[in-house]
Amino acid sequence: MLPRLGPPLAILLLAGPIIAGLLGTLLPAFGYLPALGGNDFTTSHFQKLANEPGIGTSAALAIIAGLVTTAISLAVVMLFVAGWAGTRIFARIQQLISPLLAVPHAAAAFGLAFLIAPSGMLSRLVSPELSGWQRPPDLLIVHDAMGLSMIAGLVVKEIPFLLLVTLAALPQVDLARTRLLTASLGYGRVSGFVFGVWPPVYAQIRLAVFAAIAFATSVVDVAAILGPTAPATLAVRLTRWMQDPDLSMRFFASAGALLQLGVTVSALLAWVGMERVGSAICMAMSGRGHRFRHDRTLRNLALAAMLLAALTVASGLVTLGIWSCAGLWQFPDMLPQQFSARAWQNTAPRIGAPLATTFLVAALSTLIAVFLAVLCLIREGETGRSNGRSALLFIYLPLIVPQVAFLFGLQLMFVLSGTVASMPALVLAHLIFVMPYVFLSLSDPWRAYDRRYEAVAAGLGKRRWTTLFRVRLPMLLRAVLTAAAVGFAVSVGQYLPTLLIGAGRLDTITTEAVALASGGNRRVIGVYAFLQLILPILGFAVATLLPALIFRNRRALRA
Amino acid sequence: MVCAAASLVLSMPALAGDPDATKWNAVLEDARGETVYFNAWGGAQNINAYLEWAGTEIEKRYGVKLVHVKLDDTANAVAKVVAEKAAGKNSGGTVDLIWINGENFAAMKAQGLLFVPGWAEDLPNRKFVDVEDKPTIKSDFTVPVDGLESPWGMAKLVFFHDSANTDVAELPKSASELLTWAQKHPGRFSYPQPPDFIGSSFLKQLLIETISDRALLQKPVDEAMFSEVTAPLFAYLDVLNPLMWRRGKAFPQNYPAMKQLLADNEVDIIFAFNPSEASSAIAAGELPDTVRSFTFPGGTLSNTHFVAIPYNAAAKAGALVLADFLISPEAQGRKQDPAIWGDPTVLNVAALSVADRARFETIDLGVATLKPDELGPTLDEPHASWMERIETEWKRRYGAAN
């Protein structure tokens, strides 16, 4: 009866801390926090927020970034899968893109900034010979007011995420036969996919898309590295208010955290509206019989966009790598004047303990998350979807509620119970963020699993548990391992929860990296970006290689 | 109300069992075996390495273990103490010592979050500290220190330029000359975006140079007079803003970002709050060895940075031992060496013993560091309230919806 415990356990472990944390935000937002002298309820902090210079711009930037980033990423993924699924090129690109998921957002953003800045790598490639620039041009590219660099940085990271969840959903629709059918009706490759295959795929990845929107509206590190600064996006400003030495700012910051919540929800609602419009357009076009037979250009564009995303992150990382062993490297030199191992030598003696903590916390939180997710999904299968879904709504809270909105309150709770800075507390804090991603990655392939396999097993007289372990789990092994790898990468990338709940005593590679990144030293950032990459890449390697190894004699299960 | 709270805190007796810095042998005995969680900015590897050295030394000498909790912002440590106080955790806290600046100190003092009574003046090594010539050691951003924090290093605003690219004869000697220089070289100067500490310090420098009556700055802001007395400052900034890097539509986020702009040849003049930053950067291969320093003959801003103990620290005795070690001539001499850190000492070097004096006199300050007598006069920090108002006004004018 273990599965019955799944949903309540998930709610207790996940929604509990978030609700407590949110209360710890909600009360101060309305003026109540006796420890800081707030004894009465008031809306004055919201009034102050409304008068904050540029607050409307900051909020609008967040909403636009959320919608544009997701729309572009999703369009690229959809058109690419539509045009190329099943081809050899598709398999190649898939191998190229998947590791990008493991690249921490901050590292990818730093890499992009080094590429596109006026004094960056691209400019150095053409200077001074082609451009005539002895000095970098005074152009506002990184930190541009429209947030275009930030959106680019988010797009190159959302594409691998959305591609991965799409790939996980794809086996559950009959791609090959639908394609044959649409082709026989005269549809082009892309339009056949968009009209015939995409709707059920999208239904499966919809929550992942919501997560992408919520993430892009509230991201702190990418926005701080690439986004506008005058004013910055809401989440960046909010994080600063939270850290303001003037403690009365906590009330104001809490009000801001609620505004961030509103911004994220608005973006999600706007997206739901866009979904309607999009599906109406599709219906209208297919209704009129447009078949879009000649879509070679569109297919090639989608491929180019995919390659560009991969190349951008990869060359950004290479540039970071060169910086990590650069001596003096001035504009317009294409390569450093000297190379130096100093940054690596300085780092080497200090990485053992943080690396071990990172691994331990990530491994434990991922294991628990996978276990809980499987229990919840089994239970959901037993009781029917609607029942399971309403309970599991809580699991998605951490993806939709911006971290900053509830972490201070959560920290308070751990301090109260005297467990702050302990390993179990840190694992639990990570679990809150790991679990939704694991669940998101796993639930749709799990739900779309063809239960007739189980019916056949039952017909052969196999018990429920035998069916689970011998039939369903092996068939879903890839999905389970992929979900675990995603969860592992999410844990490795956690900064704020580690800092607050670990109380700075449990250092991970990421807390070290962000602390050092605040010093802005590109050499050190380069070193830590690579250290941050090691563990998630290992995770994805295991997720890719293990099924291939286990199923080396079962062709249909290998791919 | 803040004043009332502060005086209440100061009159509070020490909790029973708290270490007493006047009984140093008992402190040493208490401290043995303790682990001190020192919350300090972790963004520079040379500083981190210095703290590792300090940790090895105090473990060897006093049996006190040092753990450096690396912060990206000091306010995070304050936030931890606040959260603990909110949770009623009035002893056994997670923060034992904080590397602190004026604003955070003022906030913690006002909120009663510091270990009382004043202990800093009772430390054995306090006798070497230069209280006479460094007035900022007794008053941090005009807030009386009252022995609630112990000085660790000195800061002074110093400008840097690359002598290979910039005409030395043209370099500005005051804020008004800087504006003239910017008009001749548009797009070649910027400052970190307030409320970054260095950026705000630059605004303070401009405020001091443009205000008609400097005595006003030693008192809290008088709201009625604010716009009148700061009118020259904002008139100055209105002219400067469009002349800056990226036409003032974006700003570097901190000093290291500004340092990178100089290395990338995106700007010509940068500044730091530590005279030996440029020498350290040259030694680390981050800046070319043609970089040199200059200051304003009329004086530049200077202050002191400190360490403080939270009221609920778990290892108060250990924190006292560490704070004392950090102002020993040995630790201070090592810290001033640009090859190690390059942070100016808080000690009165002239009054030290011959051997200790030699530690300082033999330091190679590096090509880009001005000698102490070339640094020019010092200007005192305005009261903390000025910065808050100026930052707000700055944000309204230049930091939002450009």
A320-330 pLDDT tens trace:
899 999 988 98
Give the chain A residue nearest B79 (alpha carbons). Answer: A243
Q: Do B82 and A143 touch (CB under 8 A)?
A: no
pLDDT-derived band at B372 (thresholds 50, 70, 90) equals confident
Which 3 state secondary structure label does DSSP give A266? helix
| Candidate from A136, A230, A520 with C-beta closest to B399 | A230
Of B43, B79, B285, the CB nearest to A519: B43
Q: Verify whether the Cβ–Cβ distance A515 to B71 is below 8 Å.
A: yes
Count of residues making up chain A: 559
Q: What is the pLDDT of residues B322-358, one digit of tens each?
A: 999 999 999 999 999 888 888 889 999 989 999 999 9
Contact state of B104 with A245 under an 8 Å Cβ cutoff: yes
B41: contact with A, CB 8 A cutoff: yes
Mean pLDDT of B388-402: 85
For residues B203 and B390, the answer to whether their CB atoms sit within 8 Å is yes
Q: Give B94→chain A minimum CA distance, Å.
A: 7
Q: Yes or no: say if A254 and A26 are a contact pair by the CB < 8 Å rule.
A: yes
Number of Cβ pairs < 8 A linking chain A and chain B: 184
Strands B35-41 and B65-71: parallel
User: Would you state the pLDDT for residue B402?
Assistant: 44
More confident residue, A283 or B54: B54
Q: Do B45 and A327 touch (CB under 8 A)?
A: no
Question: What is the predicted pLDDT for the residue at B9?
Answer: 44
A418 min Cα distance to partner chain B (Å): 9
B23 part of contact set with chain A, CB < 8 Å: no
CB contact A512 to B (< 8 Å): yes
pLDDT above 50 for B2? no
Bigger pLDDT: B16 vs B58: B58
Identify which of B43, B103, B287 has the shortest CB distance to residue A518: B43
Residue B10 reports pLDDT greater than 70 = no
Could you tell me if the ipTM is greater than 0.85?
A: no
pLDDT score recorded for residue B15: 54
For chain A, give the mean pLDDT: 85
pLDDT of residue B3: 44
Residues 6+ apart with CB under 8 A from B364: B337, B338, B339
pLDDT in tens, B260-293: 999 999 999 999 998 888 988 898 888 999 999 9
The answer to whether B85 faces chain A, any CB pair under 8 Å, is yes
Which helix (H) or strand (E) is A29 found in, with range?
Answer: helix A16-29
Segment A481-501 mean pLDDT: 86
**B10 interfacial to chain A (CB closer than 8 Å):** no
Beta strands in B89-208 (DSSP E): 97-100, 139-140, 143-144, 149-156, 158-162
Closest CA to B196 of B74, B305, B39: B74
Is A424 touching B (CB cutoff 8 A)? no
Among chain A residues, CA nearest to B67 = A505
Among the listed residues A83, A465, A230, the one whose alpha carbon sits nearest the alpha carbon of residue B396: A230
**Does B4 have pLDDT greater than 80?**
no
> By the CB < 8 Å criterion, does B36 face chain A?
no
Residues B283 and B368 sit within 8 Å (Cβ to Cβ)? no
Q: Does A279 lie at the interface with B, CB-CB under 8 angstroms? A: no
Judge whether B182 is closer than 8 Å to chain A, CB to CB: no
Confidence tier at A518 by pLDDT (50, 70, 90) = low
For residue A519, pLDDT beyond 80: no
Shortest CA distance from A52: residue in chain B: B396
Interface contact flag, B265 A53, Cβ < 8 Å: no
Find the helix or strand (DSSP H, E) in which B41 lies. Answer: strand B35-41
A338, A328 in Cβ contact below 8 A? yes
Q: What pLDDT score does B5 carry?
A: 44
Instruction: Determine the 3-state secondary structure of B23 from DSSP.
Output: coil
Q: pLDDT for A378-389, tens place per residue?
A: 887 777 665 455
Q: Report the distance separating Cα B167 and Cα B292, nearest Å.
A: 12
For B188, the closest chain A residue by CA position comes to: A138
Interface test with B, best of A51, A135, A236 (most B CBs within 10 A): A135
- pLDDT, residue A392, reads 56
Q: Which CA distances in Å does B162 have to A124, B265, B288, B296?
A: 20, 9, 8, 17
Of B297 and A556, the structure prediction assigns the larger pLDDT to: B297
Q: Residues of A with CB below 8 A from B83's CB?
A: 408, 411-412, 415
**Per-residue pLDDT, A246:** 67
| A136 interfaces chain B, CB cutoff of 8 Å | yes
Burial label for A385, CB within 10 Å (0-12, 13-18, 19+), is exposed
Using pLDDT thresholds of 50, 70 and 90, give the confidence band for residue B189. very high
The Cα A383–Cα A449 span in angstroms is 16
Q: What is the mean pLDDT of residues A43-67?
A: 93
Which pLDDT score is estimated for B348? 92
pLDDT (0 to 100) of residue A465: 82
pLDDT-based confidence at residue B95 (cuts at 50, 70, 90):
very high
Does residue B75 sit in helix, strand or coil?
A: helix
Q: Where are the alpha helices (DSSP H) in A145-197?
A: 148-169, 175-184, 189-196
Residues A125-178 pLDDT 10s: 998 888 888 889 888 888 898 999 999 999 999 998 899 888 877 877 888 888
Nearest to A237 by CA among A401, A45, A404, A109: A404
Please answer yes or no on whether B37 and A512 come within 8 Å at the CB atom.
no
pLDDT (average), residues A523-541: 84
Task: Pick the more confident residue, A396 or A362.
Answer: A362
- For A370, the token pair is 């996978």
C-beta separation of A375 from A2 below 8 A: yes
Which residues in chain B have Cβ-Cβ distances shorter than 8 Å to A326? 285
- Interval A187-209 mean pLDDT: 86
Picking from A247, A514, A520, the nearest residue to B260 by CB comes out as A520
Tokens 């953003």, residue? A109
- Residue by residue, DSSP assigns A329-363 as --TT-SS-SSB--HHHHHHGGGSHHHHHHHHHHHH
Nearest CA-CA partner of A38 in A241, A235, A250, A236 = A250
**Does residue A430 surpass a pLDDT of 60?**
yes
pLDDT at B230 over 60: yes
Q: Is the pLDDT of residue B13 over 50?
A: no
| Cβ–Cβ gap A230/B69 under 8 Å | no
The yes-or-no verdict on residue B8 having pLDDT over 90 is: no
Note whether A16 contacts B: Cβ–Cβ < 8 A. Answer: no
> A245 and B249: CB-CB below 8 Å?
no
Q: A246, B107: Cβ pair inside 8 Å?
A: yes
Please tell me if residue B70 touches chain A, with a CB cutoff of 8 Å: yes
Which of B69, B246, B263 minimises the CB distance to A138?
Answer: B246
Q: Pick B396's closest partner by Cβ from A53, A140, A500.
A: A53
- Average pLDDT value for residue range B157-168: 93
Residue A552 burial (10 A CB sphere; 0-12, 13-18, 19+): exposed
Cβ-contact A320, A530 below 8 angstroms: yes
Instruction: Work out the mean pLDDT of chain B and round it to a whole number.
Output: 89
- B402 and chain A in contact, CB less than 8 A: yes
- Asked if residue B12 has pLDDT above 70, the reply is no
Question: What percent of chain A lies above the pLDDT cut of 70?
Answer: 93
- Interface contact B130, partner A, CB < 8 A: no
Percent of chain A whose pLDDT exceeds 90: 26
- Residue B277 in contact with partner chain A when CB distance is under 8 A: no
Give whichever of A342-356, A395-409, A504-518 has the largest mean pLDDT: A342-356
Q: What was the pLDDT predicted at A103?
A: 81
The answer to whether B391 faces chain A, any CB pair under 8 Å, is no
| Residues A494-522, mean pLDDT to the nearest whole number | 76
